[in-house]
Chain A
Amino acid sequence: MIRGVARDESTTQVIDLFENHQREILTYLYRLLRDHEAARDLAQETFLRVFRARGQLGQIENPRAWLYRIATNLALTNLKRRQRWTWLPWSGTDESRARAETHDQAYTTSAVEEALTKLPAHYRAPLLLYEHYGLNVAELAQVLNLSESAVKLRLFRAREMFRAVYGEKEEK
């Protein structure tokens, strides 16, 4: 039976992860995809993947970094797939775009956000994870499946791109 099964410890852990991180994962995915519906779908898939693998949770040192790893991989795959299908009127992209636009009206788009959208997603991801979500280099290496030196190089390039599109600002 589906109902009435006592919640095991790993399920409780997944629920805690979901409750504590759903908002940041959703926002992170939205900033990578700029599509609210797709961000919601992938956020759901991120947590479902964790749920499916909840038996391994005990062996995961840093579940938050693991969440970001799953979310990042899903987002980058999604973006690649979108490129492939750009010429096809596929899959409600117009709708999701319309929804995103509606959503954006309630979500103030700052110049920083604008500049971020101009970065390729594989540079946007590490920059956001480092500066906004506070992950360190070791965690980023785990999330992006890169060596730490490769992470430093990626971050350096991302910062330079961001500087170029956003413009340097004097600290107030």
Chain B
Amino acid sequence: MKHEQLALQLAVYRDLSGAERAQVDAHLRECAECAARLHAYQTLGRELARLPELPFDPQLRERFYSATGANGRRATGPAGASLGPVLGWMQQLAGAAVVVLVIVATWALFQALGYTNVGGNLPTLTALRTPAATVALPGDTNVGGNPPTLTAPLAPAATVPLAGNSQFTLRISGTKGTRFAGTCTSQVSQPGSEGYAQGIKPQGIVSAENSPLEFHVIGTTVYCAITRESVQGKLQVQLFKDDVQVDSSQTTEAQDSATVSYGQVATVTPPPAVARPSPTFVKPSAQFAQDANFNNRIALSGYSLSALQIKAGETLTVTLNWQALAKSDKSYTVFLHLFDRDSRLVAQQDGLPSNGRRATTTWAAGEYVVDAHALSVPSNIAPGEYRIAVGWYPAGDPSPARLPVLDTVGSNVGDSVILNRTITVEPASPLKTFTSSIYGITFDYPATWQPVQGARDYYGGSDGFFQLTPLGADELTPEQACNEGSYSKLPAAARPTLELLTIQKQTACLILQPKQMSSQSGLVISYPHPITIDGKTYASLALWVDVDHAREVAQTLRFIEWAAPTTPTRTP
């Protein structure tokens, strides 16, 4: 027997038959090297066999029985449960054409939660209110095989303090007060407790018998699934706390006679677990010094720019250092305006401080807040010098009265401040169009980029790159990617900026990493229909792009006309 053959036999010596073992043993008597090898294998094998097991994990047990509804061997009470409805739904979800009604309860309602958690206080549930006539389920949304979309924008209204470890519940009710709904019931734990930062863990199904709706919590997303062929009627989304409706005004209604079809799923992003940073009363450093007083409420104490020269089509990060001159009970929105030499407004960006995480109502008097904004420079503007103006107006005010800027003697000198450094905009890079029938998409990218040898679906150049990765239904959804809680353990400076977008009616999440960290971004977008590549099904696509080109690429991304699902094969 040759050494090579014998080596394989030695690897499975324990399993050799009598005849095989006799043959090997005969060789071993003559070959010291092989005998030593077997000796080593057996010694190491014994070491591996002695490795300890982990202790029993009570959480695993609890989660298994909770998810299955079954009762454990050691559990008391009546046994049994059926997961049939869950499985049916999950199979549908994983399957294909199902997907996705999105109730854009994009848990805007919970956005405030991040900062109502301040200082370890109990979470506060921000309730819902129906903006007039904004909920609709148009009858023609299913044209062309696209999944129907139920859009239910939910606006923040009153806040309701939650008791520690209480539950929140989302219900969907039928017309005439008939509750055909199940409920989403999920645990809200106190910050810092086990499971809080994990998001919400499965609590099983709570639903009325024969309900066409089911609610499930998977990972960090609450799913509400329609399980019958269709339900016709008025759809209401109501928020409950501990089984008591928080406020009747928080009901969101679909238009009359909406039809909600089998397989549709409502998603609700759960409250982000955002730890409050300690307020800082030390003036932070800034690249450029500039002071301004906004009506004795807020002061500008300096600012930083990610670049002084930028190409048209790229994004400039403007970091503004603010100081609260007084405690404010009113929320204000920051605006940034980009002006050309002739004082024409060419771009603007409006938003709550720190992407909504630091509303001015959370600022302590004297506190400094560092507030970064991404200002997209249009690709079609002329090269040249541009100025940036910043200011404040009351959040949500349709006819905003801006905060006046006061000089040192308290006189009103305007309603915005021009930053004292200009930026130079250079001509945009010429673009090429990337089209992939495999991924079913098209988008523009800088013409200088070339395919990277040895890497699949990867293009790059001296100033950036993109790479494509299809994602299975159980991998990463845009909603998960945009869940701030996923990044809450990162140092503040390393947290990405998250933007939940809609591109061609599909939910997408743009993840922009801080430039100082890696200069990379990801765009995660759901497909209108799952695609199949090499026999595997994918529900979403991740497009990794350098930060400077992320918006440009995202803005030009389109799904190409969808053919019936086939099994495309990669060309070599």
Chain A residues at the B interface, C-beta cutoff of 8 Å = 1-8, 11, 14-16, 18-19, 22-24, 26-27, 30-31, 37, 40, 43-44, 47-48, 51-52, 81, 84-85, 87-92, 94-95, 98, 107-108, 110, 112-113, 116, 127-128, 130-132, 134, 136-137, 149, 151-153, 155-156, 159, 162-163, 166, 168-171
Instruction: Knowing A88-B513, A156-B7, say if A22 contacts B69 (CB, 8 Å).
Output: no
Q: From B69, which residue of chain A is reached at the shortest CB distance?
A: A2
Instruction: Report chain A residues within 8 Å CB of B518.
Output: 87
B45 at the interface (CB under 8 A from A): yes
Residues of A within 8 A of B54 (CB): 23, 26-27, 30, 107
If the complex has contacts A92-B489, A153-B8, are A26 and B57 also in contact, measured as CB distance less than 8 A? yes
Interface readout for B476-487 with A: 1 if CB under 8 Å, 0 if not? Answer: 100011000111
Within 8 Å by CB of A16, from B49, B73, B490, lies B73
Report if B135 contacts A (CB, 8 A).
no
- Give the CA-CA distance A3 to B70 in the complex, in Å: 9
Which of A2, A40, A108, A137: most chain B Cβ within 10 A?
A2
Q: How distant is B67 from chain A, measured CB to nearest CB, in Å?
A: 6
Given contacts A90-B486, A155-B11, contact A11 B53 (CB under 8 A): no
A81 to B205, CA, bound (A): 29
B43 touches A113 (CB 8 A): no
Task: Enumerate B517-536 residues with CB–CB distance to A below 8 Å.
Answer: 517-518, 520, 522
Candidates B40, B56, B81; contact of A163 at CB < 8 Å: B40
Measured between alpha carbons, how far is A11 from B10 in the docked complex, in Å?
41
Query: Does B83 sit at the interface, judged by CB under 8 A?
Result: yes
**Cβ contacts A to B, 5 pairs, < 8 Å:** A23-B56, A88-B522, A95-B197, A132-B48, A163-B40
Q: In the assembly, what is the distance between CA of A167 and CA of B404, in Å? A: 74
Return B488 CB to nearest CB of chain A, in Å: 8
Q: Are B15 and A137 closer than 8 Å at their CB atoms? A: yes
Cβ of B495 under 8 Å from chain A: yes
In the docked arrangement, what's the CA distance between A128 and B487, Å?
33
Q: How far is the CA of A156 from the CA of B487 in the complex (A)?
A: 41
- Contact A51-B68, Cβ < 8 Å, known A94-B489, A108-B52, A156-B8: yes
**A79: min CB distance to chain B, Å:** 13
B83 CB contact (under 8 Å) in A19, A52, A131: A52
Contacts of B39 in A (CB 8 A): 171
Q: Which residues of B contact A113 (CB under 8 A)?
A: 51
A170 vs B44: C-alpha distance when bound (angstroms): 10
Q: How many A-B residue pairs have CB under 8 A?
A: 170
Residue of A nearest to B206 (CB): A2
Contact B57 A11 (CB under 8 A): no
**What's the Cα separation between A11 and B69 when bound, in Å?**
11
Residues of A within 8 A of B480 (CB): 91
CB of B187 within 8 A of chain A? no
- Which residues from chain B contact A5 at a C-beta distance below 8 Å? 80-82
B80 touches A4 (CB 8 A): yes
A29 closest partner in B (C-beta): B54
Q: Is the CB of A170 within 8 A of B43?
A: yes
Nearest 6 interchain pairs by C-beta: A7-B80, A156-B11, A131-B48, A7-B79, A155-B11, A131-B45
Residues of A with C-beta under 8 A to B73 = 15-16, 19
Contact of A131 with B60 in the complex, beta carbons under 8 Å: no
A113 to B489, CA, bound (A): 28
Q: Answer yes or no: B198 CB below 8 A from chain A CBs.
A: yes
- Known contacts A169-B43, A169-B44; A44 and B496 CB within 8 A of each other: no
Q: Is the CB of A26 within 8 A of B60?
A: yes
> Does chain A have a CB within 8 A of B151?
no
User: Which residues from 12 to 29 on chain B have a C-beta closer than 8 Å to any C-beta of chain A?
Assistant: 12, 14-15
Contact A112 B48 (CB under 8 A): yes
B41 within 8 A of A: yes
B64 close to A22 (CB less than 8 A): yes
For A11, the closest partner residue in chain B by CB is B70
Q: Is B59 an interface residue when CB atoms closer than 8 A count as contact?
A: yes
B209 on interface, CB distance cutoff 8 Å: yes
For B79-106 the 0/1 string (1 means CB < 8 A from A) is 1111100010011000000000000000
Quick check: A52 and B87 within 8 Å, CB to CB?
yes
Q: Which residues of A contact B432 (CB under 8 A)?
A: none
**Least distance between A143 CB and chain B CB atoms (Å):** 14
Residues of B within 8 A of A22 (CB): 56-57, 60-61, 64
Q: What separation, in Å, do the CA atoms of A90 and B9 have in the docked complex? A: 43
Q: Which residues of B contact A149 (CB under 8 A)?
A: 8
CB pair B204 A88 closer than 8 Å: no
* Per-residue interface assignment for chain B, residues 164 to 195, with 1 indicating a CB less than 8 Å from any chain A CB and 0 otherwise: 00000000000000000000000000000000
Which residue among A31, A87, A89, A91 has the maximum number of chain B CB atoms within 10 Å of its CB? A89
Quick check: is B78 within 8 A (CB to CB) of the other chain?
yes
- Contact A88 B489, beta carbon cutoff 8 Å: no
Decide yes or no whether B506 CB sits under 8 A from chain A.
no
Residues of A within 8 A of B43 (CB): 168-171
What distance in Å separates the Cβ of B187 from its nearest Cβ neighbour in chain A? Answer: 16
Complex Cα distance, B204 from A24, in Å, reads 25
Would B47 and A112 count as touching, CB distance under 8 A?
yes
Interchain CB contact under 8 A, B486 and A92 = yes
Write the nearest CB–CB distance from B215 to chain A, whole angstroms: 12
- Contact of B60 with A44 in the complex, beta carbons under 8 Å: yes
Q: Does A89 lie within 8 Å of B81, measured CB to CB? A: no
Q: A40 near B486 (CB under 8 angstroms)?
A: no
